[in-house]
Structure 1
């Protein structure tokens, strides 16, 4: 293997040329990654180097969910992912991909296969994230639009409304609930919380997110603004521990807004430990309604607190990966991650 200085320089440069040649284990998190991983880079003295994933696992490290060091991530996905991480505000187009010598349809297919979404959708979400940060910090609408690299104010408002279910001006000012973005290895999430509890936690690419936000807005009397509370900070820290493989509990205060039946299902979901799964039939029996399998499945789909109310831990009776609003690819990775918590 190359020496420590060369490996650490390649790590800082996110050099995809080292994929397949070396992996880095980060002692502060217990995670091992590709050197091209887009995650924030560790200190030099927290790095250990391995020739392959087997050696890293033997040393007690867990695979990173972001760069998938054990999977066969195509070089094209790794290269473009690193480019997006290096400049998240860049406005990408199919013409840019073509200019780099890539076929846009191939890029779209590979990203959807490995990350559940297209490269251009990822790029658009990253830009919108920059605009949201500006608004959350009290910046002007025009500054948010420019930070998000949108040509027009109307385009920015429309993109924002598609994500949040409200135009940005409707989320400015005083509010009882605050909405902000949390980055995770499986994609961005929108968290909505007040000073006491978490009301919503959803992946930003969930199709029903805008509808769920509008419904929550009605329940809250229309008082949802931009920003975060101490509960948001607590949720972000808990998610970081969860994805680092150090704590699968996600023990957070939540507000369950649903019918009595839905609430009972969600409470039973919270009782499923990380590393275990249940079938819909088992879940229905556990709440005392063994024939209400379809209703239990519908309650699962209505859950607005992804991961914290772990509906991804429910699978088919035959062990198959059934539908998950966040995408089956996420469900598979979450269950694989949780198997590492040592619960059987």
Structure 2
């Protein structure tokens, strides 16, 4: 989301003036209607305070907005093929659905062709779109803390079932508070993207980028394993985390003091301890960590444990690289890994 007030004012002026030069440059999320639009949308213009601005359509989707039917913001600069329109309608009809190959055939589409056209038009895969729409609904619900029926009406669904399923399959039913543990969810804004944190008063259980692939399944597994229910709201730990992350990105804090809950096997916990021991500004290879654990043959197992980490940045899996010096993979994306490593090298010089 765009946070600079100067940039927001610029984009709002472009929205009011229907400035063609800004089409495709930003997407405007309208809080009062739950839709997002192009700069040139002909719909009635909202007040400035009711607008949020995004650089990417996926960001608007993850924030819980749906595409405007008047300006079709995701079609720019193309016309939308029939197959793509059909897929969008199918997602809106069942936002909680996780698509399989057979689902395409059931609505009369060839999956490879439909996926290819979707990627060409929207700049994201169909799976990304459906997942972002599904998760956006859930995150919007916890963010506003309102009843499911209120959010259902605000987002234009005639039936509560689809909206309710999209939320409860990821976050659980917040109304059921007996014999369960409650986690507070907070949405955090960082220079490299929005993140979600899940914490109670004692531990941080999850910190991930909202667009991380497989995030909703991570949340579901955590919730089901420990019988958690997730509600939106700040607690002391989430507030402390937000402050420490801000200091970290300002190169003013190198070591976090947030208590972490290790949800993994004994070996995974050993690997995560090794990750935390890597000094800020330094890196280690998977082989280095395997040797520290006493078995050079466990390089692959170390990699798997690294990938299973659910607490980004604080358990610094971004500091693990290949033995040849290449960055290797990262669940949050290679660009973020490079950003974090550069930040920490510069931080080392500042502290």
Is TM > 0.5 for Structure 1 vs Structure 2?
A: yes
Query: For the structure 1 residues 107 and 145, does the alpha-carbon distance in structure 2 shift closer, same or farther, using more than 3 Å as the test?
Result: same
Q: Does 1:143 align with 2:143?
A: no
Q: 2:137 touches 2:163 (CA, 8 Å); kept in 1? A: no
Q: How does 1:134-213 map to 2 (within 5 A)?
A: 134-135=144-145, 139-148=146-155, 150-161=157-168, 164=170, 166-169=171-174, 175-185=180-190, 186-213=192-219
1:24-80 Cα shifts (integer Å, max 9, x gaps):
xxxxxxxxxxxxxxxxxxxxxxxxxxxxxxxxxxxxxxxxxxxxxxxxxx9766423
Query: For the structure 1 residues 12 and 255, does the alpha-carbon distance in structure 2 shift closer, same or farther, using more than 3 Å as the test?
Result: closer
Deviates more, 1:74-83 or 1:317-326: 74-83
How high is the TM-score relative to the length of structure 1? 0.64
Q: Distance in 2 between matches of 1:11 and 1:209?
A: 30
Equivalent residue for 2:89? none
Q: Distance in 2 between matches of 1:214 and 1:15?
A: 37
Q: Distance in 1 between matches of 2:264 and 2:334?
A: 24
Aligned residue for 1:312, secondary structure, equals helix
Q: Distance in 1 between matches of 2:272 and 2:342?
A: 22
1:223-257 Cα shifts (integer Å, max 9, x gaps):
33314431122112222222333323233111112
Q: Does 1:229 align with 2:235?
A: yes
Q: Does 1:321 align with 2:327?
A: yes
Q: Distance in 2 between matches of 1:174 and 1:134?
A: 24
Q: Does 1:132 align with 2:142?
A: yes
Q: Distance in 1 between matches of 2:286 and 2:259?
A: 25
Deviation at 1:10, TM superposition (A): 4.7
Aligned residue for 2:290, secondary structure, equals helix
Q: Distance in 2 between matches of 1:173 and 1:100?
A: 48
Structure 1 unmatched runs, 5+ = 1-7, 19-73
Q: Distance in 1 between matches of 2:281 and 2:245?
A: 16
How many residues of Structure 1 are paired with residues of Structure 2 in the alignment? 271
Equivalent residue for 1:31? none
Structure 2 unmatched runs, 5+ = 15-20, 30-36, 38-50, 55-59, 81-118
Q: Does 1:92 align with 2:67?
A: yes
Q: 1:129 touches 1:148 (CA, 8 Å); kept in 2? A: no
Q: Distance in 2 between matches of 1:252 and 1:184?
A: 18
Q: 1:128 touches 1:148 (CA, 8 Å); kept in 2? A: no
Q: 1:265 touches 1:296 (CA, 8 Å); kept in 2? A: yes
Q: Does 1:287 align with 2:293?
A: yes
Aligned residue for 1:257, secondary structure, equals coil
What RMSD, in angstroms, separates the aligned Cα atoms of the two structures?
3.8
Query: For the structure 1 residues 11 and 192, does the alpha-carbon distance in structure 2 shift closer, same or farther, using more than 3 Å as the test?
Result: closer
